[in-house]
Amino acid sequence: MAVAESLMQGSARSEGLRDTLARRAEAVVIPALALLAGLVVFGLFLLTQGKSPFSFLYYVWQGAYGSAFSWQNTLSRAAPLLMAALCVALPARLGLVVIGGEGAIVLGGVAAGALAGPLAGVTPVIALPLLALAAMIVGGAWIGASGALRFYRGVNETIASLLLSYIAIALMNHLVEGPLRDPASLNKPSTAPLVEGLRVGNLPGMEVHWGLLFGIIGCVVSWVLIERTSWGFGARIAGANVKAAQVQGLPVGRLVIGFTALGGAFAGLAGFFEVTAIHGTANASLAAGYGYTGILIAFLARHNPLAILPVALLLAGFDASSGLVQRRMDLPDAAVVVLQGFVFMAILISETLYGRFDIFHPERRAR
């Protein structure tokens, strides 16, 4: 490992700043173009529906970033999306495609909602971290199970994690309609409402809850973990070639379970904030689709935790503006899902473009 690192440093020193920038630019320019292509295809789709793509963009701008209120709405939605995207991006470093974050969000939320009752009398300084911890443990166990099944049994983690997510939602329905149901919740079965002290408030000077800050911290910490620690280095090696990693003596099993569990813990934390900051109780609203949007965000960010920050802000904006777009343009709410689908397709198609343009590869020009 030491040899590899010194080699990397050596090559970094020998190449100029311009070359480094050219190399880095590929990972920014191609996804940006893909995003644009997805938007253009969606614009053409709108034209076939007799709607104007430009008024769509205008209402997205208004609904997502046009006023203080819309910024609040966008940022509140960005918080769970940041954490849901980490649930995809962290396992992706090991070459795993985990798509069951929705289940970890839901069960993390249920764990927080269920424990809030017994902890109602405890001082919030102690109770809130305990609730968050419980949500993270449950979420981590749920996604970590997909990783463990992958490592020990060779079960495909994509299918397993989505199945676990369906099971999680059924479990949530069972718990909030049965054992954990607050008898006072008539129309929408829920757990007992949280006491005021256990409600997480807003960030100072903003109408956005603390989850946003924790989401940002999560992304930064994940970036450091992946890019600047030996665990992250090991994970990247194992992601590229499992056999090589095992020959090197890397603890592949611990890495697989650790990274999937950490991703799940972030998703569980998202559920904690949804319950303590938004809903004030755990119910079916927890399955709001953040887990699925998080998949798209992680792919758009190419599984780079820092890139998740701007991408989540963008997709949270689409989400936040969907109500306004619906009302003003008379479009079904599914229009946002169609848009997400087109963008997702475009970003996957763009994978084929990497390495094809010499402008991003200065070493080829030199030859």
Partner 1 sequence: MAGDLGLWGIPVAIVGGAIRVSTPFLFVSLGEVLTERSGRINLGLEGTLVFGAMAGYGTAVLTGSAWAGVLVAALAGVVFGLVHGIICSLPKVNDIAVGIAMMLLGSGLAFYFGKPFIQPTAPDLPAIALGGWSDLPQVQAALNVNVLFLIGLALALVMAWMFRSTKVGLTLRVVGDSTDAARAMGLRPAVIRTLATAAGGAFAGVGGAYLSLYYPGSWNEAISSGQGLMAVALVIFARWNPVACFWAALLFGGAGALGPALQSVGVTKGYYLFYAAPYVLTLGVLIATSSTTRALSGAPGELSITK
CB of 361 to partner 1, least distance (A): 15
Interface residue list for partner 1 (CB under 8 A): 97, 99, 149, 151-156, 158-160, 162-164, 166-167, 170-171, 173-174, 177-178, 292, 295-296, 299, 332-342, 344-345, 348-349, 351-352, 354
Which distant-in-sequence residues (6+ apart) come within 8 Å of 195 by Cβ? 116, 120
CB of 197 to partner 1, least distance (A): 31
For partner 1, the closer of residues 198 and 320 by Cβ is 320
CB 180 within 8 A of CB 286: no
Tokens representing 18 are 């311009």
CB of 234 to partner 1, least distance (A): 19
Question: Whose structure tokens read 């989401």?
Answer: 215
Helices (H), the chain: 2-14, 17-48, 53-65, 68-92, 101-116, 124-148, 157-177, 211-228, 230-240, 242-247, 252-273, 290-300, 305-329, 335-349, 362-366
For partner 1, the closer of residues 119 and 267 by Cβ is 267
Cα–chain center distance at 213: 14
For partner 1, the closer of residues 45 and 58 by Cβ is 45
CB 309 within 8 A of CB 82: yes
3-state secondary structure of 190: strand
Amino acid at the residue 58: Y
CA separation (Å) from 352 to 31, 38, 137, 341, 356? 11, 15, 38, 18, 8
For partner 1, the closer of residues 54 and 354 by Cβ is 354
Taking the CB of residue 297, how many other CB atoms lie within 10 A of it? 28
- Cα distance between residue 348 and residue 1, in whole Å: 32
For partner 1, the closer of residues 203 and 349 by Cβ is 349
CB of 340 to partner 1, least distance (A): 6
CB of 354 to partner 1, least distance (A): 7
CB of 203 to partner 1, least distance (A): 31
- Cα distance between residue 234 and residue 112, in whole Å: 33
CB of 335 to partner 1, least distance (A): 6
For partner 1, the closer of residues 190 and 340 by Cβ is 340
For partner 1, the closer of residues 90 and 194 by Cβ is 90
CB 104 within 8 A of CB 239: no
- Cα distance between residue 187 and residue 355, in whole Å: 55
CB of 296 to partner 1, least distance (A): 7
For partner 1, the closer of residues 198 and 331 by Cβ is 331
CB of 185 to partner 1, least distance (A): 16
For partner 1, the closer of residues 28 and 159 by Cβ is 159
Tokens representing 126 are 């102690």
